[in-house]
Structure 1
Amino acid sequence: MKASDLEVTPLAALAFAVFAASTSAILVRWSTAPSSVAAFYRVLFTTAIVAPIALMRYREEFARLSGRDLGFAVVAGVALAVHFAAWFESLNHTSVAASVTLVQTQPIFVALGAALVLGEYVNREAVIGIAIAIVGAAAMSFGGAGEAPVSDATMYGNALALLGAITVAGYVLAGRSIRQRVSLFPYVTVVYTACALTLFVLVGAQGHDYVAYPTREWLLFLGMAVGPGVFGHTVVNWVLKHLESVVVSVTWLGEPVGATLLALFLLAEVPDAVTVVGGCVVLAGIYVTTIERERRQS
């Protein structure tokens, strides 16, 4: 059965993936494990879910992967590992709203990379949509979601989140390029494997224990894999074959809005008026960008 038979459009799938990804910050906050450990097991468990499907149904395609595509998929996996490590750690130093918002400044880097590398140029209307969304994201960051005033610790957390934005932009651009030629499951299996191996090395380098964690932590790791991993990132990688990288990256800005709402109900982090207004502006920017794409496609 085809996706069209189920009436699943790429934009609908992307909206679902953004919602699934919004749960990540909450799960990370609930976890008491080191950030790199949580990131490692999230990716490892996600790999364990998708790899059997890839090996059973796409074995011949694995054998046909070009060295270039394989190499760029590995680079994408390393970039994703740096993204996770930096972003997860940032959540220990700044608010959920600020961290998730700053990491989602990635549309700026995606738009630049898409124009320079992929030849996907952004028109005036899309630029307006990106600008609106970024302004809203900045407003949410300044809101601070009820956290303490800016300090050296929060600045460090914000800097880590920005590093996460740059590296995830590279991951999105690689996915947009390679997914035109490689099926979803072979691609994500290579990417997630490279990502997990990178995080495995990082955990060891930081001197963290690999296994001495209570049952609650293992359940949180599994939740990170199933929700943000399978239903978040993996669905986004499916969407990247059908939608321009800029549309995907701007729509991903909905994640801080969802995460802030979840933080309100689950972490008692009450957003202030600036954060609320910023979230509305983010949604307006997403609307402008996606509507512009629909207009061009009609």
Structure 2
Amino acid sequence: MNSRILALLATSIATIIYGVTFTVAKDVMPVYLKPFGFIVLRVGGAAILFWSIGFFIKKQAIEKKDFKRIVIASFFGIALNMLTFFKGLSYTTPISASVMMLTAPILVLVFASLILKERLFLKKVLGVVIGLVGAVILILYGNAGGEGAKSMMLGNLLVFINAASYGLFLVIVRDIIQKYNPIIFVKWLYLFGFFMVLPFGWNEIIIAKWSSMTFSIYSKIGFVIVFSTCVTYLFNLFALSKLKPTTVSVFIYLQPVVATIYALMVGSDSLNTVKIIATILIFTGVYLVTIQGKETTDK
């Protein structure tokens, strides 16, 4: 099996893990473990694993001037990103959350144009508008008339903030990530992130219903820490070393498909007209934003 096929297989597995994570994490929250407590476990566990892997990586010193950027990146890529995602997921549904995450590529384009002064073309601007309209519809009407609609609205809004935070993170680290070994970079990223999320989740760790958790619940917590965080990162890292970034990024669009199929299979979510319309609008927006044309030289 050649390296390209292995890379495609790796990013496919990562996509499946991401898609399943929406429902797996939802099974744990908020009954057994509150969202912020779950984040402390996730970030702390990932930090331990990445620092352990780091012992087998050739040492590389981080320049002092880059620590400030890593701290900022950790805030947007770990703390704000994960706290808003898990809190939002505890209020909304797996399908809505996975669809909302599709706004990330659109928001990356917006931040890149504002911060990096990248040129915007009409087609991409149209894609941003259409995609964001879909996001607004999902936030406001994703569970219109249903039980807990207000909580659903808040949940979708928090997941949107999570997508915006992640999009900003990608723009911030675009240059610095190329200076260091990815494992060296990410172990510091998660270490700083752990200290940022600890104040928010420590009390929730203490009051967690540990004694009432079944083996299945503990397994799902472990799945999120090991597979949803560490394995997906390493698999995507391997894929990026063999494939073009644009090829790897396409797989993010499969996450809602996987999340929807799994959520419907286990009966944790359902489809409605608003979700379908919002999904179509967001997919259309992402397509217009990411498609390459004659007017752009994107690689």
TM over 0.5, shorter chain: yes
Structure 2 length-normalised TM? 0.77
**C-alpha separation in 1, matches of 2:293 and 2:194:** 35
Q: Confirm or deny that 1:68 pairs with 2:68.
A: no
Question: Among residues 77, 100, 109, which one is paired with 2:74 in the alignment?
Answer: 77
Residue of structure 2 in register with 1:24 after alignment: 21
Residue of structure 2 in register with 1:258 after alignment: 258
Shift of 1:210: 7.2
Instruction: Point out the more displaced range, 194-203 or 153-162.
Output: 153-162
**C-alpha separation in 2, matches of 1:261 and 1:191:** 33
Question: Among residues 230, 243, 249, which one is paired with 2:245 in the alignment?
Answer: 243
Per-residue CA distance 1:218-241 (angstroms, 9 max, x = gap): 322210123321243455567778
Task: Among all aligned residue pairs of Structure 1 and Structure 2, give the percentage whose two residues are the same amino acid.
Answer: 19
Q: Confirm or deny that 1:6 pairs with 2:3.
A: yes
In the TM superposition, what are the counterparts of 1:12-51 in structure 2 within 5 Å? 16-31=13-28, 32-51=32-51
Q: Secondary structure at the match of 2:174?
A: helix
Residue of structure 1 in register with 2:56 after alignment: 56
Letter in 2 for 1:49: L
**C-alpha separation in 2, matches of 1:193 and 1:167:** 18
Shift of 1:56: 1.9
Q: Is the 8 A contact 1:89 1:160 kept in 2?
A: yes
In the TM superposition, what are the counterparts of 1:219-230 in structure 2 within 5 Å? 219-230=219-230
Shift of 1:101: 3.3
Letter in 2 for 1:243: P
**C-alpha separation in 1, matches of 2:122 and 2:8:** 21
Q: 1:293 to 1:70 in 2, by over 3 A?
A: farther
**C-alpha separation in 2, matches of 1:142 and 1:127:** 23
Letter in 2 for 1:114: A
Q: Confirm or deny that 1:112 pairs with 2:110.
A: yes
Shift of 1:145: 6.6
Question: Among residues 173, 181, 194, which one is paired with 1:183 in the alignment?
Answer: 181
Shift of 1:68: 2.6
**C-alpha separation in 2, matches of 1:192 and 1:104:** 24
Shift of 1:103: 4.6
Shift of 1:6: 0.6
Q: 1:278 to 1:163 in 2, by over 3 A?
A: closer
Q: 1:170 to 1:161 in 2, by over 3 A?
A: same
Letter in 1 for 2:18: A
Question: Among residues 196, 200, 211, which one is paired with 1:202 in the alignment?
Answer: 200
Q: 1:147 to 1:47 in 2, by over 3 A?
A: farther
Shift of 1:30: 0.8
Q: Secondary structure at the match of 1:271?
A: coil
Shift of 1:19: 3.3
Shift of 1:186: 0.9
Letter in 1 for 2:189: V
Structure 1 length-normalised TM? 0.77
Letter in 2 for 1:113: F
Per-residue CA distance 1:176-226 (angstroms, 9 max, x = gap): 221121221111111111122222221136674479463444322210123
**C-alpha separation in 2, matches of 1:282 and 1:25:** 18
Q: How many residues align?
A: 289
Instruction: Point out the more displaced range, 41-50 or 234-243.
Output: 234-243
Q: Secondary structure at the match of 1:179?
A: helix
**C-alpha separation in 2, matches of 1:51 and 1:147:** 47
**C-alpha separation in 1, matches of 2:144 and 2:22:** 16
Runs of at least 5 residues in structure 1 that lack an aligned partner in the other structure: none
**C-alpha separation in 1, matches of 2:298 and 2:170:** 22
Quote the RMSD (CA, aligned, Å). 3.7
Letter in 2 for 1:92: S
Q: Confirm or deny that 1:267 pairs with 2:299.
A: no
Shift of 1:41: 1.3
Q: 1:155 to 1:286 in 2, by over 3 A?
A: closer
Letter in 1 for 2:150: D
Runs of at least 5 residues in structure 2 that lack an aligned partner in the other structure: none
